[in-house]
Amino acid sequence: MAANMGRIRPQGMRTAAAAAVTAGLLLFPDVIPNVPGRLGSLVETFLPWLGLLAPVLLGLGLLRRNPLGVVAALVLMVVWLAVFGRPLLVRPEAAYDLTVVQHNVDDGNPDPAGTARALLDARADLVALEELTPSALPAVSAALAADYPHHVTAGTVGLWSKHPLSGTGPVDIRPRGVGTQWLRSLRATVSTPRGPVAVYVAHLPSVRIGFSGFRSTRRDESAALLAHALAAEPLDRVVLLGDLNGTVDDRGLAPVTSRLSGPRTGLAFSWPAALPVARIDHALARGAFLTHVWSLPETGSDHLPVAARVRL
């Protein structure tokens, strides 16, 4: 028996160590430095997937009859549930005032009108779109016109609404070195039955993963500019809809996510559409509650649409 315990214990210690490190990253991802290569942001982008290690460690612990390994894996599962499980365990609240849809329609989409028509099934009050090319805009507008009589566009982003819009205009979130024709954010006041709501639509610059690491400098600069606009917003109730090219856990988006709250339920991974691994398309709010978020079926874009319920 002593010999058996000697063989088991090192395995259990390795399993426990792996579980402890993973649990620590789930709880404190900011311990990973963001330089060089913005490694911290990269890990935070895919943070929920670290939980996949828990069933692997549990299986190994059971297979090897290793009590320490089993306990360590179970603790890791509890930590994951504490961090990410609430959106799965809490039922969506019934009371809400608005349904909103956010979608990057893809500037290479061969059928933008079909994509727009697919969004009608959500029966949303607001539809925010990004990557609207000049050639796609007329078809998209025609597909949405009957259900959404009010709309505004700025550059490659647009907002369609069942409620009247006012105070519309572009929001400058251009990172350094980008020309004036780069226009990817707008603001509008939506006159809802419950009063005015400031709605922002934004498409932050893309990030890249390469040999130099996780390149997100321009996205982070745009996020800071967007946060500045949100801070100056005079209305109490604000909704942000957009492709932020990052998850809410990514510290690069902290200037925005520190000012707005996310939904209470739903993971709603949105990218890539073929095999979604992250939600980079968001609905966030201030002075309002996002009670639920979910992904809609594929539309022909490389993103999935994301829908959310808003209680004012």
Averaged pLDDT for residues 31-37: 83
Q: Is the model's pLDDT at 196 over the cut of 50?
A: yes
Q: Is the model's pLDDT at 245 over the cut of 90?
A: yes
Q: Are the C-beta atoms of residues 214 and 41 closer than 8 Å to each other?
A: yes
Report how far residue 259's alpha carbon sits from residue 252's, in angstroms, rounded to the nearest whole number. Answer: 13
Report how far residue 87's alpha carbon sits from residue 127's, in angstroms, rounded to the nearest whole number. Answer: 23
Averaged pLDDT for residues 231-239: 98
Q: What pLDDT was estimated at residue 45?
A: 86
Among 4-13, 59-68, 153-162, 264-273, the range with the most confident prediction by mean pLDDT is 153-162
Report how far residue 112's alpha carbon sits from residue 301's, in angstroms, rounded to the nearest whole number. Answer: 8
Q: What pLDDT was estimated at residue 39?
A: 86
Q: What pLDDT was estimated at residue 90?
A: 60
pLDDT band for position 221 (cuts 50, 70, 90)? very high
Q: What is the pLDDT of residues 251-305, one digit of tens each?
A: 999 999 999 998 866 689 999 999 999 999 999 999 999 988 999 999 999 999 9
* Cβ partners under 8 Å of residue 295, min gap 6: 268, 269, 270, 276, 279, 304, 305, 306, 307
Q: What pLDDT was estimated at residue 65?
A: 83
Averaged pLDDT for residues 238-246: 97
Q: Is the model's pLDDT at 240 over the cut of 50?
A: yes
Closest alpha carbon to 278 in 303, 259, 258, 241: 303
Tell me which of 3-17, 164-178, 185-199, 284-298 is least confident: 3-17
Q: Are the C-beta atoms of residues 186 and 217 closer than 8 Å to each other?
A: no
Q: Which of residues 187 and 67 earns the better pLDDT score?
A: 187
Residue 168 per-residue DSSP state: E
CATH class entry, domain 98-311 = alpha beta
Averaged pLDDT for residues 129-138: 97
Q: What is the pLDDT of residues 44-95, one digit of tens each?
A: 888 888 989 999 988 888 888 888 888 989 999 999 888 887 666 666 666 8
Q: Is the model's pLDDT at 111 over the cut of 60?
A: yes
The backbone torsions φ and ψ at residue 125, rounded to the nearest 5 degrees and listed phi first, read -80, -35
Q: What pLDDT was estimated at residue 4?
A: 46
Averaged pLDDT for residues 94-111: 95
270: left (phi over 0), alpha (psi -120 to 50) or beta: alpha
Q: What is the mean pLDDT of the chain?
A: 91
